[in-house]
């Protein structure tokens, strides 16, 4: 057991170090010593995140006839968070050590008496609200208090009526959005797994009250299919039926999708049946009628809601930990990220076999430009020997490397395409490669 956990810690260290070394993820504000619970995404991290967000948007919104995207403001009228119950109840239990003053989440401590850091006495447990408070406008008093949204969901509930009045969708339908959420986590940890600023991809799906069960099942399937599409090892994804006493105040049924991260099995996503709690609360708090009129049955009712809630950053960490592979020993050792081509930040790298042969470089640039037009995320590299170039692309998970050699230019014999996972090389024309890659990328 101890051996396994050391191995897993090692894996986390390797992932964090690769992310920094190869430009995926950096500590937030690093040159100033960082800011706890914040992370900055570098060029490959940003591409990876965009690919995931685009796949989500397609699968959860644009491929469907019953889904609509929105993009609501992060700052909202504070009454939104009073009505949703976040002002009074969005808190975690906090304990502070009387000696070193380190703070901990009480529900994550095995020993609630002794400080795990210095052995000092832990103080009384109290509730700590996780919303970030700020002031909107030039006055800094109670009247100007606002919050950074702790979840994107609020922006969809308060726009339910706007969407009904503007595009007149028929129930069942849903709203979805991708955006930042902020939580002043007591103990941010495990890299981007628990941070204070993160991104969510959420759907609020509105149904007739009697139809919630089938909608719940449907979205459960959508979430699982998404996990497969982004290349997660499904043996690492587990569903947990959340017990009555552990569910959020608004939920009548919740499934947590958990993932086997290197530091243990933890929540990746949530799927909740939120009943009519949110629309009802916002209706009564705002005084605006937020109900739905069914033209067919001539009934007016408040829809019930199914919510699949996915974190972008937890997805990235799951994808990274499933993709990280090492092979060989010593000088032959190679590290590669076995990303599914769809999520890989760079799809193809193009090399001239030799850097100092103009004829090869020119041809390689021509091939590069052609592929870049086709696939966008394509790199050109002529630095160092071919072996080193392969290693660099392996570490950022590029599925294919295309090399232009003398046979390409002198015999019109196509290019060599090297596969990241097997190391196998095949000769084919550029046209054949484009066709092959388009298929792999489902374009």
Q: For binding to ligand ATP (CB under 6 A), which residues are involved?
A: 151, 183, 185, 194-195, 198, 200, 267-270, 309-311, 313-314
17 CB-near residues (< 8 Å, 6+ apart): none
* Minimum CB–partner distance for residue 107 and ligand ATP (Å): 10
* Minimum CB–partner distance for residue 266 and ligand ATP (Å): 7
Indicate the residue among 97 and 310 with the shorter CB distance to ligand ATP.
310
Indicate the residue among 151 and 381 with the shorter CB distance to ligand ATP.
151
* Minimum CB–partner distance for residue 186 and ligand ATP (Å): 10
* Minimum CB–partner distance for residue 313 and ligand ATP (Å): 5
The DSSP code for 295 is: T
Indicate the residue among 87 and 371 with the shorter CB distance to ligand ATP.
87
* Minimum CB–partner distance for residue 342 and ligand ATP (Å): 20
- Minimal CB distance to ligand ATP: which residue? 311
Indicate the residue among 18 and 178 with the shorter CB distance to ligand ATP.
178
Indicate the residue among 314 and 418 with the shorter CB distance to ligand ATP.
314
* Minimum CB–partner distance for residue 437 and ligand ATP (Å): 31
* 3-state DSSP of the chain: CHHHHHHHHHHHHHHHHHHHHCCCEEECCHHHCCCCCCEEECHHHHHHHHHHHHHHHHHHHHCCCCEEECCCCCEECHHHHHHCCHHHHCEEEEEEECCCCCEEEHHHCCCCCECCCCCCEECCCEEEECCCEEECCCCCCHHHEEEECCCCHHHHHCCHHHHHHHHCCCCCEEEEEEEEEECCCCCCECHHHECCEEEEEEEEEEECHHHHHHHHHHHHHHHHHHHHHCCCCHHHEEEEECCHHHCCCCCCEEEEEEEEECCEEEEEEEEEEEECHHHHHHHHHHCCCCCEEECCCCEEECCEEEEEEEEHHHHHHHHHHHHEEEECCHHHCEEEECCCCCCCCCCEEEEECCCCCHHHHHHHHHHHHHHHHHHCCEEECCCCCHHHHHHHHHHCCCCEEEEECHHHHHCCCCEEEEECCCCCEEEECHHHHHHHHHHHCCC
* Minimum CB–partner distance for residue 195 and ligand ATP (Å): 5
Indicate the residue among 163 and 187 with the shorter CB distance to ligand ATP.
187
Give the CB-side neighbour count of residue 305, counting CA atoms within 13 A.
26
Indicate the residue among 156 and 310 with the shorter CB distance to ligand ATP.
310
Torsion of CA 158, 176, 37, 131, to 10 degrees: 10
* Minimum CB–partner distance for residue 138 and ligand ATP (Å): 31
Cβ neighbours, 10 Å, residue 262: 20
Indicate the residue among 270 and 399 with the shorter CB distance to ligand ATP.
270
* Minimum CB–partner distance for residue 194 and ligand ATP (Å): 4
Indicate the residue among 200 and 321 with the shorter CB distance to ligand ATP.
200
* Minimum CB–partner distance for residue 67 and ligand ATP (Å): 19
Indicate the residue among 307 and 381 with the shorter CB distance to ligand ATP.
307
């Amino acid at each position: 057991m101890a051996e396994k956990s050391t191995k897993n810690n090692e894996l986390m260290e390797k992932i964090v170090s690769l992310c920094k070394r190869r430009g995926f993820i950096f500590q937030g504000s690093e040159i100033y010593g960082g800011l706890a619970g914040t992370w900055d995404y570098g060029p490959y991290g940003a591409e990876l995140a965009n690919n995931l967000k685009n796949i989500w948007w397609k699968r959860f919104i644009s491929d469907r006839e019953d889904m609509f995207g929105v993009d609501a403001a992060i700052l909202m009228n504070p009454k939104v968070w009073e009505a949703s119950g976040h002002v009074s109840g969005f808190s975690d239990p906090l304990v502070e050590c009387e000696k070193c003053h380190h703070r901990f989440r009480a529900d994550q401590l095995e020993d609630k008496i002794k400080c795990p850091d210095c052995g000092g006495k832990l103080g009384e447990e109290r509730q700590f609200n996780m919303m970030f408070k700020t002031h909107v406008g030039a006055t800094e008093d109670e009247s100007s208090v606002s919050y950074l949204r702790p979840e994107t969901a609020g922006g969809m509930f308060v726009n339910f009526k706007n969407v009904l009045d503007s595009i007149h969708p028929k129930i069942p339908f849903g709203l979805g959005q991708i955006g930042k959420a902020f939580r002043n986590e007591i103990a941010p940890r495990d890299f981007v797994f628990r941070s204070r600023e993160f991104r969510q991809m959420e759907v609020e799906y509105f149904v007739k009250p009697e139809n919630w069960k089938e909608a719940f099942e449907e979205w459960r399937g959508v979430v699982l299919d998404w996990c497969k599409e982004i290349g997660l090892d499904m043996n690492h994804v587990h569903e947990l039926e959340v017990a009555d006493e552990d569910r959020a105040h608004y939920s009548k049924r919740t499934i947590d999708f958990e993932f086997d991260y290197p530091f243990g099995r933890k929540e990746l996503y949530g799927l909740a049946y939120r009943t009519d709690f949110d629309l009802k609360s916002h209706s009564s708090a705002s005084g605006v009628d937020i109900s739905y009129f069914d033209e067919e049955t001539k009934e007016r009712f408040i829809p019930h809601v199914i919510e699949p809630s996915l974190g972008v950053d937890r997805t990235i960490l799951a994808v990274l930990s499933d993709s990280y592979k090492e092979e060989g020993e010593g000088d032959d050792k190679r590290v590669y990220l076995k990303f599914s081509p769809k999520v890989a930040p760079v799809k193809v790298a193009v090399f001239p076999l030799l850097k100092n042969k103009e004829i090869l470089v020119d041809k390689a640039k021509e091939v590069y430009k052609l592929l870049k037009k086709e696939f966008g995320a394509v790199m050109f590299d002529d630095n160092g020997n071919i072996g080193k170039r392969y290693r660099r692309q392996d570490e950022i998970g590029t599925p294919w490397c295309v090399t232009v050699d003398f046979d390409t230019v002198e015999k019109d014999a196509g290019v060599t395409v090297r596969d990241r996972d097997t190391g196998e090389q095949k000769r084919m024309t550029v046209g054949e490669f484009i066709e092959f890659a388009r298929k792999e990328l489902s374009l």
